[in-house]
Structure 1
Amino acid sequence: MLTLLTDFTIQNVMIGAALLGIVSGVLGSFAVLRRQSLLGDTLSHAALPGICIGFMLAGTRDLPMLLAGALVTGALAALAMLALTRTTRLKTDAGLGIALSISFATGVVLLTHIQTTGSAGQGGLESFLFGQAAAILRSDLYLMGGIGALALAIVSAFWKEFKLVSFDPDYARTLGLPVLALDVAITTIIALAVVIGLQMVGVVLMAAMIVAPAVAARQWSNRLGTMVVLAAIFGMASGLFGALVSATARGLSTGPLIVLAASVIVLVSLAIAPGRGIVWEWLQHWKNRRSLPARRVLTTLYRLAAEHGDPAYPAEQSMLDAYHGTATASSLERLKSRGLISAVAHAPEFTPHWALTPSGIIEAETLLGRREAEPGI
């Protein structure tokens, strides 16, 4: 393992994967919260014609020129989507779908044209479709790091504005904020994240890197700051895992492994995240079903007490059994252990009787949705 970590190529791949994961996790959080998960897919596919145009202008596979072209066409596709949704009755998903299909079709046509020209410099250009992490150079990392730092700096500088526009654009508009300009800014920096990942995971898989870390992080937190940090951590972990596995396993591409790692994190988060995970919801459902009989007995005691105008009204256990059509002993013991009811004597009878405690009254009112007690309670 240490030998692998000292390999120059593997170091480049790991650093690039980590940078990609951090930036895509942070910026993807805003896309997910704005319900624009398809935005990453649109921008990544819209980058293909820009890559081709950049190659045609440079005449060679010059990475800065290719990425600049990808950024321009990606941003133009995003702006076209915004224009469609704001000037027509099209929904956001329809606008994204139109921008995606037209951009990618244009990119495929340009790529085919370049390949038929027989240019010596076009070799490996198609690798941007699925990524080629092993081809990353140290100079490429400097470029990726600079773009990523710029994107994160913009997010940091306009954190409050981006947060407000993402959650409540109407309120942001009443405060006088330039909502349209902020929308364009958010979309542009997401395009920056897409540009960073093109060489690592490619046009086709980049959308997953925008969405997956953010979706996983959303399961663990309801706070934007915490979600962004978790998304960056999940993205970085996915990148490092994919890079290490591809370095140790022969014939496995780095990009797909990074996306698979991110997908695993998403599945685990969807399953076990507290408060939102499937397992958590199943446990809550099981607890609710188990406590339902006790809740019914508690509300029955409350209604009997309200009917008799006595908060300490002693209800006979056999009467509760007859009312519910089943034995209520286990439910009564459960309520007693929680301090919601207490066993009371009711002379001259010697059968078990139960009465609500003050805590039981409050609990029953909560279950019945009453803020105030019935008269006499």
Structure 2
Amino acid sequence: MTFSEYFELLFSDYTLRTITLGTAVLGAICGMLGSFAVLRKQSLLGDAISHAALPGIALAFLITGAKDTNILLLGALVSGLIGTFWIKGMTSKTHLKSDTALGLVLSLFFGFGMLLLTFIQKQPNANQAGLDKYLFGQAATLVEDDVRLMLIVTGISLCILLLFWKEFKILLFDADYTKTLGFNTKFIDVLITFFIVLAIVLGLQTVGVVLMSAMLLAPAAAARQWTNRLSMMILLAAIFGILSGVIGTAISASQNNLSTGPVIVLVATVFVVFSFIFSPGRGLLFREIRFRNNRKDLQLKKTLQFMYGIAKTHDNISHPHAIRILNNFQGFTKKSLQQMEDKEWITLQGQQWALTHKGFNEAMNLYNKTHD
């Protein structure tokens, strides 16, 4: 299937429409809520929660004996919340750092989950399970009920986000100030954490336990490179998440033997790499351009100060001087002289130069700044 055939079938084929809509909605909610995880410096929390959800899925299957998606995700939600509050409890009640607590909970819960999956495989009803899809995701199993659930959760998350916008924003950037204003910071923190866990749990079926943290963080990390405003960051992260879901699904559908979840994560990573390089404010390319321009500007000003030292010994600042006087000066190049003439700092006549009044004043200002 080619890209053009995919988009032709998108609105007529039930499977393609459901998967594409599901991955787009997942990308939107992960982008929105992942922004808070990135700004709160809780990037590894997403990885720990996704791995902590695995034993909940296995236990839900063992208790009910049925592969009901809603029940399995409910088990994942409970397990993920328990893992989250274990992490918070260890960091607040003990001397352990957050990275240690995250590593302990991740390995403990994931190890227990893998043990349960091994146990399930030996049971008579193991052929009904198919729980291994939650490790790496299987977007093809999405049905309309799953997408409807994602839409409901996304709508509720958006409403909560708008309702508590001021509180979330203040808590992100100054938790102590939030307390002085009388806000219940614990409740706000739990609310944010709950919806982050919920977004992760919703994505397990599509992306899987192993890759879910990348789906949560990549759109937000890409958006962070383009703006300093929280509202714009959340919007851009949602857009990047949607595009990652749609483009990843299209690539997976148009090629044979490509799993949808990993392709979506790779597309999201492309957005991150592109943002790291080409964003105007923080991008590596524009940063290098600014660095080179600043270095050139510094060289010009160093040369101008050197000329100023020569010119100020004369009553007439426009007195001509030979260019060869500058030959042993480190910042001097013939190109720099041309650039200084373009700025109207000096005048050039053959092999001689002279400071203009504009150049003399500029150099005098530089000299005064360096001696303040």
Q: Normalising to structure 2: TM-score of the pair?
A: 0.88
| Superposition deviation, residue 61 in structure 1 | 0.8
| Superposition deviation, residue 250 in structure 1 | 1.8
Task: Provide runs of 4+ in structure 1 moved above 6 Å.
Answer: 307-310
| Superposition deviation, residue 276 in structure 1 | 1.4
Q: Which residue of 2 aligns with 1:37?
A: 43
The code of the aligned residue for 1:247 comes to: A
The code of the aligned residue for 1:353 comes to: A
Change (3 A) 1:356 1:108: farther
Q: Distance in 2 between matches of 1:359 and 1:135?
A: 74
Deviations 1:249-282 (A, max 9, x none): 1221111111111111111111211121122222
Is 1:331 the counterpart of 2:336? The answer is yes
Which consecutive residues of structure 1, in runs of 5 or more, have no partner in the other structure?
none
Question: Contact 1:114–1:122 (CA<8 Å) still a contact in 2?
Answer: no
**Which stretch of structure 1 is more off in the superposition, 6-15 or 325-334?**
325-334
Q: Aligned runs of 1:1-377 on 2, under 5 Å?
A: 1=5, 2-119=8-125, 122-301=128-307, 313-314=317-318, 317-318=321-322, 321=326, 324=329, 327=332, 329-339=334-344, 341-343=345-347, 352-357=353-358, 361=362, 364-365=365-366, 370=369
Deviations 1:72-126 (A, max 9, x none): 1111111111122222232222222122111111211222222222225742111
Change (3 A) 1:353 1:189: same
**Which stretch of structure 1 is more off in the superposition, 327-336 or 11-20?**
327-336
Question: Contact 2:341–2:348 (CA<8 Å) still a contact in 1?
Answer: no
Question: Contact 2:317–2:360 (CA<8 Å) still a contact in 1?
Answer: no
Q: Distance in 1 between matches of 2:331 and 2:42?
A: 52
Q: Normalising to structure 1: TM-score of the pair?
A: 0.87
Q: Share of identical aligned residues, percent? A: 42
Change (3 A) 1:157 1:316: farther
Q: Distance in 1 between matches of 2:124 and 2:368?
A: 75
| Superposition deviation, residue 178 in structure 1 | 2.4
Count of aligned positions: 364
| Superposition deviation, residue 325 in structure 1 | 5.6
Question: Contact 1:151–1:193 (CA<8 Å) still a contact in 2?
Answer: no
| Superposition deviation, residue 11 in structure 1 | 0.7
Which consecutive residues of structure 2, in runs of 5 or more, have no partner in the other structure?
none
**Which stretch of structure 1 is more off in the superposition, 258-267 or 4-13?**
4-13
Q: Distance in 2 between matches of 1:168 and 1:44?
A: 28
Change (3 A) 1:29 1:178: same
